[in-house]
A and B are shown apart, each in its own frame.
Chain A
């Protein structure tokens, strides 16, 4: 086995503490809204993006239209384009199918771990293999934990209110994404517009809120920059 692949896999170990419960909760949630084991695992393997899976499940539980679920999931996963753009130079000489396989495994954790490792180490390192080790380890552990969650899910009674774990997990992820004033403004705007737009038909308020939040963050950053320039 390639030594950089193994280094990547080892690098992923500490973060599994967060991956395991998140994957389990995603499939406990899927089963709790009535999906079968096969359906819950189908979603986990086909989508492999926890926050968007939880959002789809939450929207499913309140009977949202199909198109809103799809659009919401896509918008939530737009962040992957950023990761994709950042990782692209490291994969450039690979065959297209290999790049596609590495892209499929892309996760927040795999991106964060490999990029921070790439910039912090001077040692001779094959970036592709390191990323592959990290991403594959996370993918395998995610799916195994999802299986556990889908098996345990039916044992959890609805009266315990475990659906409340979605907004709680989103809250933690949201605070993790707040890095500066513009991101805080994006969150406050997105959240407030979502509350105000709650009554809109087809859950349009959600798509509107996310767009407003992005616009507000972008605008406030430009505003800050233009003031610094003066």
Chain B
């Protein structure tokens, strides 16, 4: 990736994100928001985050791997348990990384 396209990427993401942040603060009083919009947007975090997580666990090296040799899947499931119980980013990272290292040290080649 060239330096130019990298900075253009930051600008495109940044300007788009700013527009999303500013949109309704700017429009307030000027238009009425359609009623279905906030009800649909509510699902964005759950859908988007799951769509990033699932394939990262099932396709650790680019192809589908549901075997017990897929340490990232196992460590990810362990991390998910911690995430479920604590909802804490730091605890989840610590638990998942520790599990990954233990599995690699014990069963890795």
Chain A residues within 8 Å of B, Cβ to Cβ = 17-18, 21-22, 25, 35, 39, 42-43, 46-49, 51-52, 55-56, 58, 60, 62, 66, 69-70, 72-85, 87-89, 91-92, 96, 99-100, 102-104, 106, 160-162, 164-178, 182-184, 186-195, 198, 205-206, 209-214, 216-218, 221
Contact = CB atoms under 8 A, between A and B. Distances in A.
A70 B12 contact: yes
Contact of A75 (B44, B82, B86): B44
Given A92-B29, A170-B49, A186-B43, A162 B38 contact: no
Interface string B30-43: 00010011111111
Contacts of A182: 43
Interface of chain A: mostly helix, strand, loop or mixed: helix
Contact of A174 (B7, B12, B83, B91): B83
A198 B64 contact: yes
A75 to B, nearest CB: 6
| Chain B contact patch, size range | 35 or more
A43 B52 contact: no
Contacts of A69: 9, 13
A211 B45 CA distance: 11
B28 A92 contact: yes
A178 B20 CA distance: 22
A51 B97 CA distance: 19
A168 B86 CA distance: 13
A74 B22 contact: no
Interface of B: 1, 3, 5-14, 16-18, 20-29, 33, 36-59, 62, 64, 72, 75-76, 79-80, 82-84, 86-93, 96-97, 100-101, 104
Contacts of B23: 81, 84
B47 A214 contact: yes
Contacts of B62: 62
A49 B19 CA distance: 13
A187 B25 contact: no
A46 B50 contact: no
Contacts of A178: 46
The 8 A-B residue pairs whose C-beta atoms are closest, nearest first, are A213-B47, A217-B43, A191-B54, A190-B47, A191-B50, A46-B14, A88-B28, A174-B49
Nearest to A163: B56
Contact of A73 (B17, B51, B53, B97): B17
A172 B85 CA distance: 10
22 contacts: A35-B6, A39-B10, A74-B13, A75-B44, A76-B48, A78-B20, A79-B45, A81-B21, A82-B41, A91-B28, A99-B25, A103-B21, A104-B22, A161-B100, A169-B93, A171-B49, A174-B83, A187-B50, A190-B50, A217-B42, A217-B47, A218-B40
